[in-house]
Amino acid sequence: MAAAKASGFGVYLMASTVLGGLTSALGITLPFAAYRGMSQMIALAIGPVGWLTLFGGLAFTLNQPN
C-alpha cells in the first residue's frame, strides 16, 4: 500500500492500462464509468479506509492465541 500511495498517479495509470489491455484482448469496450469506478476503488483502498483495514487486520491477527 505504501508503494501504491508513493507512486501517485502511476498506480491509476497502470490499472487503466491493464484493464484496457484485457478488455481489448477480449474484444469488448468498457464505458468511461468502469474506469472511473476502478479509480474510485483504488482511491478507497489506498486511502484511510484501506489503511484502517490493514491495521485492523494486523491487530486482529496479532491478538489471536497461538
Residue ranges per domain, the chain? 2-62
| CB-neighbour burial class of residue 38 (10 A; exposed 0-12, middle 13-18, buried 19+) | middle
pLDDT digits (tens, 9 = 90+) for 31-64: 999 999 999 999 999 999 989 999 999 999 999 8
pLDDT on residue 37: 96
pLDDT on residue 56: 95
CA 50 to each of CA 7, 22, 30, 32, 41: distance values in angstroms, whole numbers, following the listed order: 16, 26, 26, 24, 10
* 66 has pLDDT over 80: no
pLDDT digits (tens, 9 = 90+) for 1-40: 888 888 889 999 999 999 999 999 999 999 999 999 999 9
DSSP assignment letter at 28: -
pLDDT on residue 8: 85
